[in-house]
Amino acid sequence: MPALLNDYIAEGGAGTAIVDEAGAVGWRLLGERVNRWIALLRDRGLGEGDRLACVLGNRRETFEVLLACLHSGITVVPINWHLTDPEIAYIVSDSGSKALVVEPSYADTAGRAVARSTGECTTLLVTGSMAESGFEAVEPLLALMSAAEPEGQTCGATMLYTSGTTGAPKGVVNGLFVVGAPFSRVAKLTRYAHVVLDVPSRERCLLDGPWYHSSQLFFSLLGLLLGSTLVIRRSFDPESTLDIIDRERITAAHLVPTQFIRLLRLPAEVRERFSGASLGRVWHGGGPCSPDVKRRMIDWWGPVLTEYYGATEGGAVTLTGSRDWLAHPGSVGKAVPPNEIVILGEDGTPQPPGATGQVFVRRAKGQSFSYHNAPEKTRSAHLEPGTFTFGDVGHLDEDGFLYLTGRAQDMIVSGGVNVYPAEIEAVLINHPAVQDVAVIGVPDDEFGERVAAVVEVTADAPEDLFAVLDPFCRKSLAGFKTPRSYHVIPRLPREATGKLRKDVLRKSFAAIGIERPDIAHPATFADGVPHAEFARRRETEPVAWTPEPLLTRHSSAGSTTQRGSGYWAVTRYDDVYSVSRRPEEFSSAAKGAFLPDPRTPGDLKQTRQLLVSMDGPEHVRIRRLVATVFTPKSVRGLSDSIAGHARRLVEKVTDGAEFDAVADFAAELPLLVLCDLLGFPPEDRHLLYRWSNALVGFDDPEFGSGDVEAYRRTFAEAFAYAMKLGLNRRETPTDDLISRLVNAEFDGKRLSDREFCSFWLLLVVAGNETTRHLISGSLEALVNNPAERDRLVSGEVPVATAVDELIRWVTPIMQFRRTAVRDTEIAGQPVAEGDKVVVYYTSANRDPAVFTDPDRLDLGRDPNPHLSFGIGPHFCLGAHLARLEMATLLTELLPHLSRLRLTGPVTRLESNFVNGAKSMPARFG
């Protein structure tokens, strides 16, 4: 049997070892499962000194893998299951993991991560009986392995990665478990955990937070190694937590302060049902706990709370029980052996009791930690061998109890005075309107920094927060500590462990008081795409909460002003790619694919008739009806007619007379192609042009002017035209796309009239707008970049390559909206269910992490993985057609291109959706 479990198996093995949401498993069966895992890992060539990464949730198999590695000399690398594929790829590569074990829910993301990673991660395993995304199913493999006791067992280890608040995440090598060490060393560790830290032996422990966090992992794993039953919860729900503590007779648990707050906010009748009679201790850490919150928890649960101060790097270094804490409120306890707490001033000298300074931990035997592949980061955390800091600021009292004031990196210096955010947060969290709070410093010309509070508010919070919270704070805080501003966001960027990502907040709010282009306002884009602002966002706040502007809407009832709900702006390439590939988390249908929120339920219903605002089976059904029309082979069949249109257009505008490069040229080709494709008279193309301008240009003062009734009239007029056309093709079908649409069946069903009209209108608008603005934007780019134009004219670069670069450069559709349908995360930023998420292709296409010198037009750029047509299930149906139209037109223009001049200012569309010009005076000659 596995050496570390022998005692409990030898006692009969029938007792319960682990309980998760799939059921219970006894010690003997757990031992056999661990043996099979050991055999499987050895069979795949893993052994002492190797590393194995895990993207697993809170489940029994996670601890089977952990225990197998701890008996095989393998280092386990836990990975946060919320991470995106590039983030997972970084950890797999940096750690040098040779194997990756995942569960089915994360297999797709993990598979993409492996494809991006470097190194030799070749063993890919997924829990369950079915293979997923290139990962082999574990259960059939385990069934082939022996359950007998493996020979040559040797101690493994763990390497957890920091959250990367000051740069890329780093693996922590903390020496808790040591590869190749005798198991007697582990026995000494578990005795220390039991005697000094009060980790329970042969009791019932609850894991109710993500296992990949160090405190949750070690308190649960060490309890298991001490013979305690481990009850595992998949995710935290406050009411369910109370139920399971009573039902499972839990004696020990680990929670974080944010969980306390959510428990305390349960309805009184729910809290009163809770007994908690079995609880003996509840550890908490992972962030500062407001003294008021802690008192209320002790009043409710009794003196069972044990607070610690520590970190992944050094484990728990202080402890305080409830009774000691009540005598020293606000403290995180006294040092536990072999640790000593030292407070050092800015000059590096030890500080007396009561004096604030940076907190250092000193260990008598010089035991310490290091960061994997990061010697400089390791050195910066150490004062000398065995003396290190976690980066906190605080002081000791006369009795040796430690009080934390905050993080050194979080301290605000306002007018030369040090202000510690934790003190202010502890006051604000007690106001009934405040759900959660973070205090940060923001730039101030006079004082250097000023205090700002970023808050989540309750549903009944007053609109004027400042009027309520300012006097509330002044009752407890000096004036210089009181926030000068309050900023509401839907959710603070906390990790599942409760750790607050203030680095994310500081980036998001660094521009307070600084004029920045408002990427949410349509008028911003009348001067062109603010690429400098997108570059700043990619660098400093790639996933940032973005308030929406107040916009005026008109109708016969008068004018009203509306402000959208705000959204997460996603600006980096990898994050845009990731969100687009996760339709199960980010829905197009929930609230539609367009940035403005639907004004009425009827508007939302109408929006959902559009292909771009569909999800899942419905999206697949509609798309398949027409997908074959837009395949490369089908599109090539249009080549001759497109070439004829292009030739006639070029002949028309190259006679030396001035023309509008938008209306007279760029708009004409896609409109004529649409007439061919959809089978309506060419003379009606002016209708398509007008409808398209009115719908896409809704916010533009010339085209739509925010007139809601005119917008709806346009829809009605376009639908009436489509219905008439559709009825004609049902009676007299031809070989055009309209006939195909109205008569096609999928699973025995035809399109409804509304579905047909909606899809027809989407084809008209998308087929016109995207290509029109691609052509006009390309002409402008070629005129403004004559050296690149000359490369194209001379034949130095192929037309096809140039077309893709022009598509990247222009990015006609700048963004699409998604809605989070469950709590999730984008690049470490928590996103709540219901939050609006906007992916900016126009920013992703200028990301220097993907494109060399991205702000330079390079018609020879190859490869060119731009996202102008989107990615994932909503990849643009008309991409091949748009490329063909652009390539054909460029080919016809090549003999004349060098003579093209712009003869007047370009007027641009006021739209935050389409990057387009309204007029562009030009002449050849």
745 vs 70, residue with greater confidence: 70
Task: Compute the residue count for the chain.
Answer: 925
> CA-based diameter of the chain, in Å?
97
Q: What is the pLDDT of residue 410?
A: 80
Q: What is the pLDDT of residue 416?
A: 63
> Using 50, 70 and 90 to split pLDDT, how confident is the model at 447?
low
158 pLDDT above the threshold of 90: yes
| Residue 833 neighbours by CB under 8 Å, 6+ apart | 820, 821, 822, 823
In the DSSP assignment, the letter for residue 614 is: -
Q: Three-state SS for 762?
A: helix
Query: What own/partner pairs with CB < 8 Å and gap ≥ 24 does 45-50 have?
Result: 45/98, 45/123, 46/72, 46/74, 46/98, 46/99, 46/123, 47/72, 47/73, 47/74, 48/72, 48/73, 48/74, 48/154, 48/179, 48/180, 49/73, 49/75, 49/179, 49/180, 50/74, 50/75, 50/98, 50/99
- Which pLDDT value is given to residue 284? 94
- Angle of the 668-678 helix axis to the 753-784 helix axis, nearest 10: 150
If one compares 146 and 119, the residue with the highest pLDDT of the two is: 146
Averaged pLDDT score across all residues of the chain: 90
Nearest to 56 by CA among 22, 82, 85: 82
Q: What is the pLDDT of residue 6?
A: 81
Give CA–CA dist 7/343, Å, rounded: 43
Give, as one character, the DSSP assignment of residue 700.
S
Split at pLDDT 50, 70, 90, the class of 605 is confident
Q: What does DSSP say about strands 252-255 and 281-284: parallel, antiparallel, or unpaired? A: parallel
What integer pLDDT is reported at residue 66 of this predicted model? Answer: 97
Cis peptide before 596 (omega within 30 of 0): no
Cβ-based neighbours of 421, under 8 Å, separated by 6 or more: 406, 410, 411, 412, 438, 439, 440, 451, 502
CB 518 within 8 A of CB 550: no
pLDDT exceeds cutoff 80 at 629:
no
Structure tokens at 643: 């070439």
Q: Which of 186-195, 400-409, 880-889 has the lowest average pLDDT?
A: 400-409
Residue 748 confidence (pLDDT) above 80: no
Residue 338 has pLDDT above 60, yes or no: yes
In this prediction, residues 140-164 reach a mean pLDDT of 92
The residue-averaged pLDDT of 167-176 equals 86
Percent of all residues in the chain with a pLDDT value above 70, rounded to a whole number: 97
CA–CA separation, 752 and 622 (whole Å): 11
**CA 449-507-373 angle, 5° bins:** 115
Question: For residue 768, which of 666, 880, 888 has the smallest C-alpha distance?
Answer: 666
Q: Which residues are CB-neighbours of 31 under 8 A, at least 6 positions away?
A: 1, 2, 5, 9, 13
What is the model's pLDDT at position 547? 84
Q: Say which residues have a Cβ less than 8 Å from residue 267's Cβ, sequence separation at least 6.
A: none
Give the pLDDT confidence score for residue 510 in this predicted structure.
Answer: 67
Give the dihedral sign, CA 316/317/322/323: positive
Residue 9: strand, helix, or coil: helix
- d(Cα 41, Cα 24) in Å, to the nearest integer? 24
How does DSSP assign 796-820, residue by residue? SS-HHHHHHHHHHHH-SB-EEEEEE
Q: Are 523 and 551 within 8 A, CB to CB?
A: no
Half-sphere exposure at residue 687, Cβ-oriented, CA atoms within 13 angstroms: 17
Token code pair at residue 920 = 């562009």
* Residue reference for tokens 């959204």: 567
Please compute the mean of the pLDDT values over residues 642-662 and round it to a whole number: 95
Name the percent of the chain lying above pLDDT 90. Answer: 62
Tokens standing for residue 683: 């003379």
The answer to whether the beta carbons of residues 575 and 542 sit under 8 Å apart is yes
Judged by DSSP in three states, 305 sits in strand
Look at residue 441 in the predicted model and tell me its pLDDT. Answer: 87
Q: How confident is the model at residue 818 (pLDDT cuts 50, 70, 90)?
A: very high
Under 8 Å between Cβ of 254 and 282: yes
| Region at 188 (left for phi over 0; alpha for psi -120 to 50; beta for the rest) | alpha
Lowest average pLDDT, out of 64-78, 119-133, 713-727, goes to: 713-727
Mention every residue, 6+ apart, whose C-beta is less than 8 A from residue 893.
Answer: 650, 900
Lowest mean pLDDT among 72-76, 344-348, 764-768: 764-768
How confident is residue 839, by pLDDT bands cut at 50, 70 and 90? Answer: very high
Q: What are φ and ψ of residue 54, in 5° steps?
A: -130, 130
Mean pLDDT of 434-455: 83
**pLDDT bucket at 771, cuts 50 / 70 / 90:** very high
pLDDT of residue 141: 98
Domains located in the chain, CATH noted: 1-181 (3.40.50.980), 182-331 (3.40.50.12780), 338-403 (2.30.38.10), 411-508 (3.30.300.30), 606-828+836-924 (1.10.630.10)
Q: Specify the pTM.
A: 0.63
Model pLDDT, residue 738: 84
Considering 79-93, 444-458, 836-850, the range whose residues carry the highest mean pLDDT is: 836-850
Q: Average the pLDDT over 658-671 and give the result.
A: 95
The predicted pLDDT at position 513 comes to 56
**Distance of alpha carbon 494 from its chain centroid, rounded?**
12
- Position 677 scores a pLDDT of 85
pLDDT in tens, 296-315: 999 999 999 999 999 999 99
> Which backbone phi and psi does 498 adopt, to 5 degrees?
95, -10
Q: What pLDDT is attached to residue 13?
A: 65
Residue 366, pLDDT above cutoff 70: no
Answer whether residue 166 shows pLDDT above 60: no
**In this structure, which long-range contacts are made by residues 870-875, counting pairs with CB atoms below 8 Å and at least 24 apart in sequence?**
870/580, 870/813, 870/816, 870/841, 871/576, 871/577, 871/580, 871/581, 872/580, 872/581, 872/583, 873/583, 873/619, 873/620, 874/580, 874/588, 874/593, 874/612, 874/619, 874/816
- Kindly report, residue by residue over 216-269, the tens digit of the pLDDT: 999 999 999 999 999 999 999 999 999 999 999 999 999 988 899 889 989 999
**Residue 883 reports pLDDT greater than 60:** yes
More confident residue, 396 or 638: 396
pLDDT at 414 over 90: no
- Whole-angstrom Cα distance, residue 165 to residue 87? 14
pLDDT at residue number 514: 57
B/e letters for 717-743, b = 16+ CB within 10 Å, e = fewer, are ebbebbbebbebbeeeeeebbbbbbbe
The 3-state secondary structure of 216-270 reads: HHHHHHHHHHCCCEEEECCCCCHHHHHHHHHHCCCCEEEECHHHHHHHHCCCHHH
pLDDT (average), residues 567-590: 95
pLDDT tens digits, 185-195: 999 999 999 99
- Those residues with Cβ within 8 angstroms of residue 726's Cβ, 6 or more apart along the chain or in another chain: 738, 741, 742, 753, 756, 757, 760
How confident is the model at residue 562, as a pLDDT?
75
What per-residue confidence (pLDDT) applies to 511?
Answer: 61
| Structure confidence at residue 515 as a pLDDT band (50, 70, 90) | low
Q: Which residues, at least 6 apart from 382, have a Cβ–Cβ distance to it below 8 Å?
A: 368, 388
Residue 55 in this model has a pLDDT that exceeds 60: yes
